[in-house]
């Protein structure tokens, strides 16, 4: 599972689009993140099936840095992180590990 927080829906679209290039998702290709009223950060979520790998995403642009949280099994989270690294500059800002799952918080910026 991927949760993205930010203020700009185009950034959510860029992140989910890059991951959608690499993996099957519960989001349809034409499912565009929507804005929420007010000037508060929004959280968008999507689930990706890393066992159904497609193409490595190319570089993508963001209007501003965004925070992404990856949650799942160790191999799944690592696959998602690697896909994001091919599209964005990625910095790990936090991790939490469990017995069979982990959560990793990343800061994404354009290359």
Task: Give pLDDT tens digits along the chain (111 positions).
Answer: 999 987 788 898 999 999 999 999 987 766 766 666 677 667 889 999 999 889 999 999 999 999 999 999 999 999 999 999 999 999 999 999 999 999 999 999 998
**How many structural domains comprise the chain?**
1
Q: Give the closest residue to 87 by CA, choosing from 69, 72, 68, 109.
A: 109
Place of tokens 């982990």: 102
Three-point CA angle 27, 48, 34, nearest 5°: 35
pTM of the model: 0.89
Give me the helices (H) in the chain, please: 9-22, 74-87
Residue 42 is predicted with a pLDDT of: 78
Per the structure, the complete domain to which residue 68 belongs is given by 2-109
């Amino acid at each position: 599972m991927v949760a993205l927080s930010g203020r700009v829906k185009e950034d959510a679209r860029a992140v989910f689009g890059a991951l959608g290039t690499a993996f099957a998702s519960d989001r349809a290709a034409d499912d565009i993140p929507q804005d929420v009223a007010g000037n508060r950060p929004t959280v968008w979520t999507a689930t990706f099936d890393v066992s159904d790998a497609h193409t490595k995403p190319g570089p993508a642009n963001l209007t501003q840095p965004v925070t992404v949280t990856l949650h799942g099994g160790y191999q799944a989270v690592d696959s998602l992180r690697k896909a994001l690294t091919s599209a964005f500059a990625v910095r790990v800002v936090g991790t939490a590990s469990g017995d069979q799952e982990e959560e990793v918080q990343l800061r994404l910026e354009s290359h």
